[in-house]
Amino acid sequence: MTMGHIMTHGHILGSNMARTDRRQREFERREQEILDAALELCSAVEFESVTIEQIARRADVGKGTVYKHFASRDELLFRLNIRFYRGLLDALRAQPVEGSPRERLRCIIEYALRYHVMHREYRYVVEYCGRIDFMERAEAIWRDDFLRLDRAFQEWGVPLIQSGMDSGVFAKRPVEQVLLGVNACFKGAISMLWAGEHWCAHGGDEETVLAAATEFMLAGLVGEPRSTLVAD
């Protein structure tokens, strides 16, 4: 093979790779546009009646194009759910790391709660994907994706909680127990914040709920484990 053949072959290979990259970028761009269109339509209380055809019209594509990216409406909503939580994880990773474990965790809890308030348009999708009936029919690959994301949250957050225990700021107890408690409190706070004025029986505005939930979770971390309390 002559040098000319080698150069020509390399040029063709490079051109093919460039076209493949452009097609991939176009595919990803179109997918995000479909997700954006779906979020617009699913940010209202009537979201469960939204169809693939309506999403396609809003994204200015054909139904077939939507199905090239998502096998079903449920998969599309699940991908929106994943996008929301990946955005939260990326935002938390970008937060400052200065201060004591308690102060850092306070900032993290407050920021995470505010993130949900700032992205209220996701609330119906996130709550839908958290329903038992949705989780029971979810594809195995979806559950795997979510578990990987959940592990990423833990890999990021557990060292902070552990450092607080090691330094005596937080009470020592199994980390799994701490995560269960914090998660339960956090989900309850999010339900109240996302419900807005519909939870008025509890009293307080968003800032009141946010502050009360943050202090309650921190108090749970600092307080003595139940097994060490002296019985009355």
Report residue 161 as tokens.
């909680």
Range of the domain at 55: 1-70
Same domain, 66 and 93: no
| Nearest CA among 11, 15, 12, 35 for reference residue 23 | 15
CATH number at residue 39: 1.10.10.60
Tell me, what's the pLDDT at 203?
59
Same domain, 206 and 113: yes
CATH number at residue 84: 1.10.357.10
The one-letter amino acid at 64:
G
**Measured over all CA atoms, what is the biggest interatomic distance in the chain, rounded to whole angstroms?**
92
Beta-carbon contacts of 96 under 8 Å, excluding residues fewer than 6 positions away, are 107
The mean pLDDT of 152-177, rounded to a whole number, is 93
232 belongs to a structural domain:
no
Tell me, what's the pLDDT at 16?
58
> With bands split at pLDDT 50, 70 and 90, how would you rate the model's confidence at 4?
low
Are 59 and 42 contacting, i.e. CB atoms less than 8 angstroms apart?
Answer: no
Please give the tally of structural domains in the chain. 2
What is the rounded CA–CA span in Å between residue 227 and residue 59?
56
> In this model, does residue 85 exceed pLDDT 90?
yes
Phi first, then psi, for residue 139 (nearest 5°) are -65, 150
